[in-house]
Amino acid sequence: MKKYSARFAAAGIAALLVAALFLFPGARATANQFLGMFRVQKFAPISVSPEALSQLENLELDGVYPGEFTWIQEPQEPQTVTTYDEAAAVANYDWWVLEFDDQLGSPSEIAATDGGSAILTVDLESSRTILDIAGIDPALLPDNLDGAEIEATVSGTIFTRWDENNVTLIQGNSPEVNYPAGFDPAPIGQAMLQLLGMSEDEAFRLSQNIDWTNTLILPIPQEIGTFREVSVQSTTGLLIEGLDGEHSALLWQNNERMYMVSGSLSGDELMTLVAE
């Protein structure tokens, strides 16, 4: 399973695919077919207990998979370049690349990768087994989910790193996910939230209030840090602060573009960096 998860992480979009079927590699999401295409517009952080993380790790160790993962176009490994123009060319960007050179000086490394796409073909029996092991009603997953194909596309990504303070900036267009007809997002989202440790009642209430057509669920392990919404570059972002007070990360979306900056900085220092 480690190889399976690593392939997902390499694509970036993989976290969305796995989340839709209730495994736990990274960032998560689910959506519905009624609008045809899912695009991230906002984040919904969820605090996750160590017990929930352990349960999900055990599912992974047991080799219970939600379906078969197939690359349509596998993205290349990140390619080191010397300029932002070169990075934009590799990532197929036609927009201005965000950079912090005025604040941090020349970066230690600039790298970029092209986009990719993949399909997850759902195995309903295995997906229901995951819920059953987690103590969740398998009937939350509808019968017509079996054999459904979830297709995801991620754009090229640019990575910029500054060694001082270990600052890293990741940027790219918001991912797109095509879901098959017949998805009812609320019960599917409820099952995912229960896997992340929520009670049935809490998960039901939250799943009814989330717009699953544009929201990315971000589970935050309780032992790692806290989170809060902040204003960043004329929009709303999510600031995650490490419990040690020395590490933080900031995520935001603007004009269908997603950004994440992290580093060995306090939350206030990171906000100052982005605001300048």
- Percentage of the chain beyond pLDDT 90 is 15
Q: What is d(CA 128, CA 122) in angstroms, rounded to the nearest whole number?
A: 11
Average pLDDT over residues 173-191: 71
Q: What domain range is 200 assigned to?
A: 2-42+50-156+178-222
Residue 135 φ/ψ region, left for φ over 0, alpha for ψ in the -120 to 50 degree band, beta for the rest: left
pLDDT score, position 89: 93
pLDDT score, position 60: 64
Do 15 and 28 meet the contact criterion of CB atoms below 8 Å apart? yes
Q: How, if at all, do strands 157-162 and 248-254 pair?
A: unpaired
Checking if the pLDDT of 165 tops 90, the result is no
**Token digits for 44?**
């919904």
Prediction pTM value: 0.73
pLDDT score, position 213: 63
Q: Sheet containing 235-242: which strands, arranged edge to edge?
A: 79-81, 109-113, 157-162, 167-173, 257-263, 248-254, 235-242, 225-232
Checking if the pLDDT of 19 tops 50, the result is no
Domain assignment of residue 11, yes or no: yes
Q: At what angle do helices 185-195 and 50-61 cross, to 10 degrees?
A: 100
Nearest to 29 by CA among 47, 45, 15: 15
Distance in angstroms between the alpha carbons of the first and the last residue of the chain: 42
Average pLDDT over residues 245-256: 84
DSSP three-state, residue 141: coil
Checking if the pLDDT of 25 tops 70, the result is no
Q: pLDDT: is 77 or 22 the higher one? A: 77
Domain assignment of residue 228, yes or no: no
φ, ψ at 87 (rounded to 5°)? -60, -45
Checking if the pLDDT of 27 tops 70, the result is no
Domain assignment of residue 185, yes or no: yes
Q: What is d(CA 80, CA 160) in angstroms, rounded to the nearest whole number?
A: 10
Average pLDDT over residues 43-67: 72
Chain segment 75-134, per-residue pLDDT in tens: 888 899 999 999 999 998 887 889 999 999 999 999 998 888 888 888 889 888 877 877
Q: Sheet containing 37-39: which strands, arranged edge to edge?
A: 37-39, 176-178, 149-154, 116-122, 67-73
Neighbours of 261 (CB within 10 A): 23
Domain assignment of residue 12, yes or no: yes
Domain assignment of residue 239, yes or no: no
Do 59 and 23 meet the contact criterion of CB atoms below 8 Å apart? yes
**Token digits for 269?**
């220092």
Domain assignment of residue 243, yes or no: no
Q: At what angle do helices 185-195 and 124-133 cross, to 10 degrees?
A: 50
Domain assignment of residue 76, yes or no: yes
Q: How, if at all, do strands 79-81 and 235-242 pair?
A: unpaired
Q: What is the DSSP string of 62-91?
A: TT--SEEEEEEEPPPPPEEESSHHHHHHHH
Residue labelled with tokens 């990768």: 113
Question: Based on the structure, what is the number of domains in the chain?
Answer: 1
Domain assignment of residue 25, yes or no: yes
Checking if the pLDDT of 17 tops 50, the result is no
Checking if the pLDDT of 162 tops 90, the result is yes
**Token digits for 143?**
């019968």
